[in-house]
Amino acid sequence: MLFSWLRARRRRAARGRPLPPDAEEALLRLCRQGAWLDAAEGRLWREWIAVFLEEKRFEGCGGQAIDDEVRLSVAGQAGLVTLGFPEEYFDTLRSVLVYPGDWAGRKAVPLDGGAHLEWRERRLGEAWTGGSVLLSWPAVRRGGRLLDGARSVVIHEFAHLVDALDGTIDGVPPLPRGVDARDWRARLAGCRERFEEALDEGRAVALDDYAADGAVEFFAVASECFFQDPHLLARHDEELYGLLAASWRQDPRRRVPMSGLRGR
C-alpha cells in the first residue's frame, strides 16, 4: 500500500510539471496528431507523456542512440491510445528497446503431430509480456509524422499491450462497462471475415495485409488505422470503426482533419 501511495504521489508530481518549451515544440513535430487534440485531450496527453517518460527505461540496440527525439516520438504516439483511460501506465512495461532498423525475429506455427514449423521474419516491432517493447526507430519516426499511411508501429505494439490488460492476448481488449462483450466479439469477428473476403477477392481494403494473420493482429492493425487514418477506416467499414471507438473510448475521426492526412 505504501508503494502504491508513493507511486501515485510521484505521478501527480510528474503530471504537474509542464514540458520545457523545446520539448513541447519537438513533441508536436514528432507526433503530428498532438496539434489536433482539443484542450482537455491535450492536457491528458501531455500529463500521460510526462509520467511515461519518467517511469520507462529506453535502451538503444544495435548502435541506436537514445535521445529526446526518440523518447518523445514513442511517448507521443503511445499517449494517443491512452486518451480513453489516462490512468493506465502499463505498470508491467519496464523498458522500450529501440533498434536502428528492422531485425529478424523467430516465427513458429504448430503442425500436426506436435511438430513446429519455424522461420525468421523481418520485424518492425514486438511486444513482450515480460516487460519490454521492441521498436524500429525509422518506423517509429514515420508513424509519428504520418508518413507511413495508416501504419504506426508504436500504436500497433501498444494495442497488443492493451489487449493483454485482461490477462489474455486474444484480439479483444478490456471493454468498458455497458458494452456487451459477447456482442462486441461477434461483430468484430464479422468485420474480420469481411476484410479477409475482400482481401481474397482483390478488392480495396483499409488495412495492411498483416491483419489477416489472426484475431490478435487484426485488432492491432485495425487500431493503427483507427488512430492514423480514421476517415479511411470508417469509409471501408463503419461498423469496425464503431467497435474500435467503443473499445478505445474515443473518436479520432472527430479531431483528425482529412486535409491534414491528404497533406502527408
* The 3-state secondary structure of 27-58, one letter per residue: HHHHCHHHHHCCHHHHHHHHHHHHHHHHHCEE
C-alpha–C-alpha distance, residues 56 and 62, integer Å: 20
Overall average pLDDT of the 242-262 stretch: 89
pLDDT at residue 115, rounded to an integer: 52
The H or E element spanning position 211 is none
pLDDT at residue 261, rounded to an integer: 61
pLDDT digits (tens, 9 = 90+) for 102-141: 877 666 545 556 554 554 577 899 998 779 999 999 999 9
CB atoms within 10 A of CB 85: 15
Evaluate if residue 263 carries a pLDDT over 50: no
* Nearest-10 crossing angle of helices 68-81, 137-144: 60
Are 144 and 76 within 8 A, CB to CB? yes
C-alpha–C-alpha distance, residues 181 and 114, integer Å: 33
Phi, psi (rounded to 5 degrees) for 35:
-70, -15
Q: Which three cell numbers stand for residue 104?
A: 529478424
Are 80 and 33 within 8 A, CB to CB? yes
Whole-prediction pTM: 0.92
Q: Please tell me the total count of domains within the chain.
A: 1
CB atoms within 10 A of CB 249: 14
Residue 254 domain boundaries: 2-262
pLDDT digits (tens, 9 = 90+) for 70-92: 999 999 999 999 999 999 999 99
Evaluate if residue 247 carries a pLDDT over 50: yes
Q: Which residues pair with 104 in a beta bridge?
A: 122
Are 131 and 161 within 8 A, CB to CB? no
C-alpha–C-alpha distance, residues 212 and 180, integer Å: 25
Phi, psi (rounded to 5 degrees) for 249:
60, 40
pLDDT digits (tens, 9 = 90+) for 168-206: 999 999 999 999 999 999 999 999 999 999 999 999 999
User: Pick from 227, 237, 228, 231: which is nearest to 204 by CA?
Assistant: 237
CB atoms within 10 A of CB 263: 9
pLDDT digits (tens, 9 = 90+) for 32-60: 999 999 999 999 999 999 999 999 999 99
pLDDT at residue 74, rounded to an integer: 98
Query: E-strand spans in the chain?
Result: 57-60, 95-99, 103-110, 116-123, 125-128, 132-136
pLDDT at residue 119, rounded to an integer: 45
Are 119 and 81 within 8 A, CB to CB? no
CATH for 103: 3.40.390.10
Q: Which three cell numbers stand for residue 44?
A: 491528458
